């Protein structure tokens, strides 16, 4: 991670609040997206992610709070802001009979002439004359990504980017997003795919009930909320149970069930347990380590924050 | 000429119009086919039931307004509601297209559809029934212009208000067919009962059809109907633009 100065901030949101009738959807939210970073916005359904993004895009007027995109107010300077934004939306579509090349021409506001290259890059060059209705789900998502990138935006907002893509297509799109970062562009990634967030994001913002529950790198969030790692191995009956494992640094609990030994502890205990076993001449071939991942960390955060966390649709890739 | 985002949107919409089956069916095929059938049903001799006019000519003149009504009550609302329902308008808005540009695009597309379908209708009618020479060009063209603005604006209003393409189609058909039968393409007013005539008199399509038939077929300027059509055009276009604002 790079240390960024304040003026590196592409998006700054402070105290954002938005209600629909009596229902508060975003409740005093703060967040920042800096130049050249990929920020993930994740949370349960109804957590306020889409409303937050729509406020950033200038599509919804906040009830309160400060919101700046490239230093501009998206509500009063929406046209200028949207020229710097590229948006791929989860629930938007194109006319069924609009052909791929026609869509590129329609959305090519800046006329940089990148359309053909982008279609090639995203594997759609052969589909130039295909109507939108004839594209597969993955092709549609890739077309939306092409359209989002046409005008060389400085901030790209991607909402459920890889929904409907097969594993190979997902990897291709992930690689494209990583190229965006390398080109210095910022990405705000709204996703339910926690593996995607773990792989792509420099920072992850976890939202619950309209508020930010925590912000950090995926590693930091896993360390703070993921819970213990679990080491399991077994020893032949002839081997004596290893002694004093519960005294090893970072170990919280040792469970011996006949020949199977389970150890729960901090991440750092993996090395120390390994060293302790080796010191006793024990080299179990079936040793496994279960490490918590972002999915477990986020689920735990949401469960701790509110009882409706089960709404989160977690998809493992 | 329109330029920039709105120009691109208009060009795209004109391209898509040619591929849209609802448009091809209701705006191009339906008026021509029904005009041929109805126009040939009452003969070509002047008839008292048709204000002493050749019935075929009566229907040729009437069916230009059917084209306008089909465009405004079916093509535009279904198309626009489908865009709203599927998030197409949202995607366009995010790409920098002002929301009012959809209304402009629909208006231009609707007007082009009316013009193209009217030409087709006249081209088909000419060798079959002949086309009467208008006696008052100015009020006729004014009526067609006001009528197009009125009905396309009503279409934009419906499309921007109704929640789905299916709802727009249902409401559009419900408005279109009674208007069509009582106000333009159905039996002449003289053979209708008083109740139906009373209903027909309050239909915008009846006003428009009267304003077209009058100066075309030498039945007078129909200035009252023209004025009502103009007022409808003004009210509907203001309401449509208001509904189309971001």
- DSSP code string of B204-235: HHHHHHHHHHHHHHTS---HHHHHHHHHHHHH
Ordered by where they begin, the domains of chain A are 6-84+153-224 (3.40.50.300), 228-290 (3.30.70.980)
Write the residue in A59, A83, A105 that is nearest to B96 by C-beta: A83
| pLDDT confidence of residue A311 | 47
Cβ A29 vs Cβ A56: under 8 Å: no
Contacts of A85 in chain B (CB under 8 A): 94
Identify the three-state secondary structure at position A256: strand
pLDDT at A314 over 80: no
pLDDT digits (tens, 9 = 90+) for B71-85: 999 999 999 999 989
Distance CA A218, CA A42 (A): 12
Which of A69, A101, A106, A111 should we substitute to test contact with B (largest number of B Cβ atoms within 10 Å)? A106
| pLDDT confidence of residue A239 | 66
Which of B14, B91, B92, B106 should we substitute to test contact with A (largest number of A Cβ atoms within 10 Å)? B91
Say whether A92 and B88 touch across the interface (CB within 8 A): yes
Q: What is the mean pLDDT of residues B211-230?
A: 94
Give me the sign of the Cα torsion angle A301, A305, A307, A312: negative
Q: What is the mean pLDDT of residues B101-122?
A: 91
Supply the angle between the helices B204-217 and B223-244 in degrees, to the nearest 10. Answer: 140
Give the residue from B142, B71, B146 showing the smallest Cα distance to B106.
Answer: B71
In chain A, whose CA is at the least distance from the CA of B246? A59
Backbone φ and ψ of A154, nearest 5°: -90, -20
Distance CA A205, CA A189 (A): 10
Overall domain count for chain B:
1
Distance CA B159, CA B174 (A): 14
| pLDDT confidence of residue A246 | 85
Q: How confident is the model at residue B246 (pLDDT cuts 50, 70, 90)?
A: very low
Contacts of A106 in chain B (CB under 8 A): 8-9, 12
Contacts of A79 in chain B (CB under 8 A): 96
Share of residues in chain B with pLDDT > 70 (%): 98
Write the residue in B15, B88, B94 that is nearest to A82 by C-beta: B94
Who has greater pLDDT, A268 or B213?
B213
In chain B, whose CA is at the least distance from the CA of A55? B94
Backbone φ and ψ of A189, nearest 5°: -110, 110
**Which domain, by its residues, includes B70?**
4-244
- Strands A203-208 and A38-43 come out as parallel
Contacts of B9 in chain A (CB under 8 A): 106
Contacts of A59 in chain B (CB under 8 A): 90, 93-94
Distance CA A11, CA A65 (A): 13
pLDDT digits (tens, 9 = 90+) for A208-250: 888 899 999 999 999 888 888 999 998 876 666 676 888 888 8
pLDDT digits (tens, 9 = 90+) for A87-96: 888 777 899 9
The mean predicted confidence, pLDDT, of chain B is: 91
pLDDT at B121 over 90: yes
Q: How confident is the model at residue A306 (pLDDT cuts 50, 70, 90)?
A: low
The mean predicted confidence, pLDDT, of chain A is: 86
Contacts of B83 in chain A (CB under 8 A): 95
| pLDDT confidence of residue A308 | 45
Identify the three-state secondary structure at position A149: helix
| Spatial strand order in the sheet of A9-20 | A23-34, A9-20, A64-69
Which of A60, A95, A96 should we substitute to test contact with B (largest number of B Cβ atoms within 10 Å)? A95
pLDDT at B104 over 80: yes
Lowest mean per-residue pLDDT among A222-226, B125-129, B181-185, B202-206 = A222-226
pLDDT digits (tens, 9 = 90+) for B40-71: 888 888 888 898 899 999 999 999 999 999 99
Share of residues in chain B with pLDDT > 90 (%): 70
Other CB atoms within 10 A of residue A311 CB:
12
Q: What is the mean pLDDT of residues A99-125?
A: 89
In chain A, whose CA is at the least distance from the CA of B15? A98
Give me the sign of the Cα torsion angle A310, A311, A312, A316: positive
In this structure, what token pair is assigned to residue A314?
């977690």
Write the residue in B88, B90, B96 that is nearest to A95 by C-beta: B88
Distance CA B126, CA B116 (A): 15
Write the residue in A89, A97, A147 that is nearest to B87 by C-beta: A89
Give residues with Cβ within 8 angstroms of B169, minimum separation 6. B22, B74, B77, B78
In this structure, what token pair is assigned to residue A17?
């609040």
pLDDT at A182 over 60: yes
3-state helix, strand, coil in chain A (%, to 5): 35, 25, 40
| pLDDT confidence of residue A163 | 77
Who has greater pLDDT, A269 or A317?
A269
Distance CA A50, CA A55 (A): 9
pLDDT at B155 over 90: yes
Q: What is the mean pLDDT of residues A88-111?
A: 88
Identify the three-state secondary structure at position A305: helix
Q: What is the mean pLDDT of residues A70-75?
A: 91
| Chain pair A-B, CB pairs under 8 angstroms | 49
| pLDDT confidence of residue A241 | 64
Contacts of B19 in chain A (CB under 8 A): 97
Which residue matches tokens 């230009």?
B64
The C-alpha angle B77, B180, B205, rounded to 5 degrees, equals 75
Instruction: Give, as one character, the DSSP assignment of residue A57.
Output: T
Share of residues in chain A with pLDDT > 90 (%): 40
Write the residue in A57, A87, A93 that is nearest to B88 by C-beta: A93
Contacts of A156 in chain B (CB under 8 A): none
pLDDT at A98 over 90: yes
Q: How far is B175 from chain A, CA to nearest CA, in Å?
A: 25
In chain B, whose CA is at the least distance from the CA of A99? B16
| pLDDT confidence of residue B139 | 95
Who has greater pLDDT, A260 or B96?
A260
């Amino acid at each position: 991670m790079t240390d960024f100065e304040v003026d590196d901030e592409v998006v700054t949101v402070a105290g954002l609040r938005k209600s629909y009738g009596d229902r508060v959807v975003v409740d005093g939210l703060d967040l920042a997206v800096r130049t050249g970073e990929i920020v993930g916005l994740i949370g349960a359904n109804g957590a306020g992610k889409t409303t937050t993004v729509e406020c950033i895009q200038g599509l919804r007027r906040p009830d309160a709070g400060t919101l700046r995109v490239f230093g501009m107010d998206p509500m009063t300077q929406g046209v200028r802001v949207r020229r710097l934004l590229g948006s791929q939306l989860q629930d938007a579509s194109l006319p069924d009979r609009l052909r791929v090349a026609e869509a590129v021409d329609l959305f090519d506001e800046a006329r940089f002439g990148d359309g053909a290259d982008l279609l090639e890059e995203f594997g759609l060059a052969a589909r130039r004359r295909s109507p939108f209705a004839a594209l597969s789900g993955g092709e549609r998502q890739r077309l939306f990504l092409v359209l989002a990138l046409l005008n060389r935006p400085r901030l790209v907002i991607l909402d459920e980017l890889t929904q409907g893509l097969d594993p190979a297509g997902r990897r291709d799109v992930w690689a494209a997003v990583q190229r965006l970062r390398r080109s210095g562009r910022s990405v705000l990634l709204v996703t339910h795919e926690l593996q995607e967030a773990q792989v792509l994001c420099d920072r992850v913002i976890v939202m619950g009930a309209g508020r930010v529950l925590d912000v950090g790198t995926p590693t930091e969030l896993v360390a703070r909320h993921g819970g213990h790692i679990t080491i399991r191995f077994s020893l032949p009956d002839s081997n004596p149970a290893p002694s004093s494992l519960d005294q090893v640094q970072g170990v919280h609990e040792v469970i011996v069930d006949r020949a199977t030994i389970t150890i729960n502890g901090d991440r750092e205990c993996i090395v120390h347990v390994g060293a302790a076993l080796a010191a006793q001449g024990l080299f179990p071939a079936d040793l496994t380590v279960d490490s918590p991942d972002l999915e477990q960390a986020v689920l735990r955060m949401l469960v701790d924050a509110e009882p409706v966390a089960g709404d989160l649709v977690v998809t493992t890739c | 000429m329109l330029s920039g985002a709105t120009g691109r949107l208009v060009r795209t919409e004109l391209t898509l119009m040619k591929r849209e089956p609802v448009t091809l069916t209701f705006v191009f095929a339906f008026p021509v086919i029904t005009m041929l059938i109805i126009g040939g049903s009452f003969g070509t001799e002047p008839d008292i039931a048709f204000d002493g006019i050749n019935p075929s000519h009566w229907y040729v003149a009437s069916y230009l307004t059917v084209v306008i009504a089909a465009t405004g009550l079916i093509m535009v609302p279904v198309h626009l509601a489908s865009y709203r329902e599927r998030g197409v308008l949202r995607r366009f808005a995010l790409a920098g297209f002002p929301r009012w540009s959809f209304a402009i695009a629909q208006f231009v597309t609707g007007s082009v559809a009316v013009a193209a379908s009217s030409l087709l209708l006249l081209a088909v009618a000419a060798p079959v029934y002949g086309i009467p020479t208008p006696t008052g060009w100015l009020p006729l063209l004014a009526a067609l212009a006001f009528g197009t603005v009125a009905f396309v604006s009503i279409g934009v209003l419906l499309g921007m208000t109704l929640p789905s393409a299916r709802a727009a189609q249902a409401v559009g058909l419900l408005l279109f067919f009674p208007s069509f039968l009582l106000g333009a393409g159905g039996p002449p007013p003289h053979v209708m009962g008083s109740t139906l005539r009373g209903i027909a008199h309050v239909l915008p399509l009846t006003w428009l059809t009267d304003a077209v038939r009058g100066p075309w077929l030498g039945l007078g300027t129909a200035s009252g109907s023209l004025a009502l059509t103009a007022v409808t055009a003004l009210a509907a276009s203001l309401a449509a633009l208001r509904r189309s604002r971001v």
